[in-house]
Structure 1
Amino acid sequence: MDGPRHHYAALDGVRGFAALSVMVYHLGHWLDVPGLAVNSGLAVDLFFCLSGYVLSLSYGGRMVGAGSLSMGQFFRRRLVRLMPVIVVATLIGAAYVISRGRLNGTDIPHAAIFMAVVLALLNLPYPWAPHALGGPQVFPLNGPQYSLFLELFINLYWWSLRRVDQRYLAIGMIASCVPLLYVTGLGGDVPATFWSGLPRVGASFFIGVALYRLAPSCPAFMVHSAVFVTCMGIMAILFLWPVEVPRGVEMIWITVFSPLLVLSGARVRLSPGLARLSLWGGEISYPLYALHYPVFCWVNGLFQAATHHRMPMVEMPLVGITVLGVSLAVLKGIDEPVRARLSRRRGGAEATAPRGRAAYPVAGAGVTAPARNER
């Protein structure tokens, strides 16, 4: 394993753990098992923070001046990174809804299914989706896709302001979004909370941008390995805590411990074995996050049809194993090959850069590296 990949593996491990925690929470929620990782929705805010940090690293040198990217070029790169898995997830989800409707005799208007598929493939919300289709989720075929919509939205907003001093932009956005987020609370996945998703993504994404831009002036103790270990422990306890924490605790996570985890994780060196495990976790994290909802629908639907009983302790490991298998198959069989082909057609440095993991910087070094998993 080469030095840089070894050095930045810790943040891949963080992403893998966070994605797995989200799946555990959703399985408990969908199968009516209380107390399972109920605060793991805060992983979404961690993902947004990581995104701001890693995109600043990957594209900071191409924002203005010679070699800069236009809005269209940047948008295309983000679509290449995010959309192959979203397309697969949409097709799996749509196939399930259509099959369930035919078997159960559920009357779902064809126009509604068509609208849900088209909007999902465009990564746009469908806030008026009927309940039989998956409403009130704004992405009825794949509920967690709302965060990917917010991700792409904030990416484009950030790029449209690329000529603004990034330090002042980040500070201004944080100062605007954090108080608003405290008032609105976390949300974005259903129409009633949809607009609260904007300050949510704005706060964490621009905290990540600020981390990258202001890291050189951070005190040394903030990037010590002990800080990373402490923040990892806090994340594990918080995510797995069996009762929902108050909003104030959520805000402390978003503004203090999530940023410290990202900042310190960029400097942690792992043992070779742990680094390989962490890098694999980083590879699988995005497809696992994007695919676990539609895969769950299929496994749960088939299980219920076969047994006519709800057995969460059987279904949960069955779903988990299936999601991991499908995610790995989609990653290696579809996502990576499609992105590699599209990158070769686009040409340039990214056409030959290895894909699948993030090339994270040494915090504060102010260097750029090939983007392998920009999400």
Structure 2
Amino acid sequence: MHTTNRSLEGLRGIAALIVVLYHMAILSPYAGVIQNGYLSVDLFFVLSGYVICSAYGSRLTNSHEVSRFLIRRFGRLWPLHVISFVLYYALLCLHSVLSKQPAVLPTMAEFASLLTMTTGFNLFDHNIGNVVTWSAGDELYVYALFAAVCMTLRKRSSVFFAVLSIIGFVIILRVDAESCLNHGPCNDLTYSFGWARCLTSYFLGALLARHKDALNFLTSPQWQIVGAVATLALVQFAAVVPAIAFAAPIVFALLIASLTRDRGPMATLLRTRPMQYLGEVSYALYLSHSIFGIYFVNLVFLPARNHFAWQAACCAGYIFASLALAHFLHRYIEVPVRERINAWGDSYRGHEVSALLHNSK
């Protein structure tokens, strides 16, 4: 029976918090980990590939299991995605009214893209919705690709996981390398070719899940320390040496591999209650924190207030507001809606099986 790896849950929470700090921007010049926090998105993708493949990879052998899987993934991602972009545009319109500027609303094409979670598919020359909307959509469609590979290829799926990961990486290098090596940052593709980042990292995580037994030696305390130090070094110095950002999926996979037994020094830290709470609300925190972004920027740069104490107070308020909203959305929207959709998906599958049994009589 599948059980939750609590250290990976805590790691997901840390990744979400780093994204929040990254989008605060004001602190970026003082800490490379914050300045290069955009790489946490790749950590999310690798984590997702590992966790989903561990839980579902061997079960997606027929259309009924695939349908159930996709319904559950849709129930996990779509409802909170819709709530977050509705809140984002509502507060953006409020800000426009208060500042006596024209209201900012998505066009019909943009709204359709938001509803179908296709904002990361190179359809527009600008970001749609809040700054992380693209990644949730890319992940949803990669789930579908993953399920199709598992169902049709089965024992050969590992080969195609590797092929898909390499294809994504080649696309990233082709699109981003020349420009980012000269100007930086590297591997920061979002609404344009961000899906290639998702392909690369997700299927690397899935490949790790398929072969974790062969990598058991990486779960020693020594390798956990190596994985943690390598991750910190990568994120800290990616702005100084932009090219190392391309190694992010591999470094993150090393860290995740070291935590797969859910014990050891780093696992102990990630299993603490604060880390577990962050992991629990991580998706809500990730999607909703940028809703307050425009207010934060306006506050932090108020005339005659541009000093450390004021900035620190604004940052603390921003983090508190983001966590409060994430807690509310997780408890009252994400969990209950997800459970209803999951129940419907399980019921739908049950009716299908019953129908098949009846027809076979």
Give the TM-score category using the shorter length: 0.7 to 0.9
Percent of pairs identical after alignment? Answer: 21
Structure-2 change in CA distance of 1:254 and 1:235 (3 Å): same
RMSD over equivalenced CA pairs, Å: 3.1
Structure-2 change in CA distance of 1:167 and 1:128 (3 Å): closer
Conserved? CA contact 1:119–1:125, under 8 Å: yes
* Aligned AA (1:229): I
Conserved? CA contact 2:219–2:258, under 8 Å: yes
- Which residue is equivalent to 2:102? 107
* Aligned AA (1:124): T
Distance 2:136 2:14 in 1: 18
Conserved? CA contact 2:300–2:311, under 8 Å: no
**What SS does the corresponding residue of 2:117 show, helix, strand or coil?**
coil
Deviates more, 1:158-167 or 1:269-278: 269-278
Structure 1 stretches lacking a partner, 5+ long:
130-135, 352-375
TM-score (norm 1): 0.77
* Aligned AA (2:262): V
Is 1:253 aligned to 2:248, yes or no?
Answer: yes
- Which residue is equivalent to 2:166? 175
Distance 1:116 1:318 in 2: 31
Is 1:277 aligned to 2:274, yes or no?
Answer: yes
Query: Cα distance, 1:248 vs. partner?
Result: 3.1
Q: Any residues of structure 2 matched to 1:1-375 within 5 Å, and which?
A: 4-5=3-4, 8-28=5-25, 31=26, 34-36=29-31, 37-65=34-62, 68-70=64-66, 72-108=67-103, 112=106, 115-125=109-119, 137-139=126-128, 141-162=129-150, 163-164=152-153, 165-185=156-176, 186-190=187-191, 194-195=192-193, 197-218=194-215, 220-239=216-235, 241=236, 244-255=239-250, 257-269=251-263, 270-271=267-268, 274-300=271-297, 303=299, 311-347=310-346
Distance 1:128 1:64 in 2: 33
**What SS does the corresponding residue of 2:243 show, helix, strand or coil?**
helix
Query: Cα distance, 1:33 vs. partner?
Result: 5.0
- Which residue is equivalent to 2:180? none
**What SS does the corresponding residue of 1:147 show, helix, strand or coil?**
helix
* Aligned AA (1:125): T
Conserved? CA contact 2:165–2:204, under 8 Å: yes
**What SS does the corresponding residue of 1:347 show, helix, strand or coil?**
helix
Distance 1:265 1:349 in 2: 36
Structure 2 stretches lacking a partner, 5+ long:
177-186, 351-361
* Aligned AA (1:157): L
TM-score (norm 2): 0.79
Deviates more, 1:83-92 or 1:205-214: 83-92
Alignment deviations for residues 163-193 of structure 1 (CA, whole Å, 9 cap, x no partner): 1221111122233333332333324324xxx
Conserved? CA contact 1:128–1:138, under 8 Å: no
Structure-2 change in CA distance of 1:57 and 1:120 (3 Å): same
**What SS does the corresponding residue of 1:64 show, helix, strand or coil?**
coil
Conserved? CA contact 1:52–1:209, under 8 Å: yes
Structure having the larger proportion of residues in helix: 2
**What SS does the corresponding residue of 1:188 show, helix, strand or coil?**
coil
Structure-2 change in CA distance of 1:243 and 1:254 (3 Å): closer
Distance 1:237 1:350 in 2: 47
Alignment deviations for residues 304-355 of structure 1 (CA, whole Å, 9 cap, x no partner): 799895543321111011101111111112111111222223336999xxxx
Distance 2:283 2:24 in 1: 17
Count of equivalent residues: 327
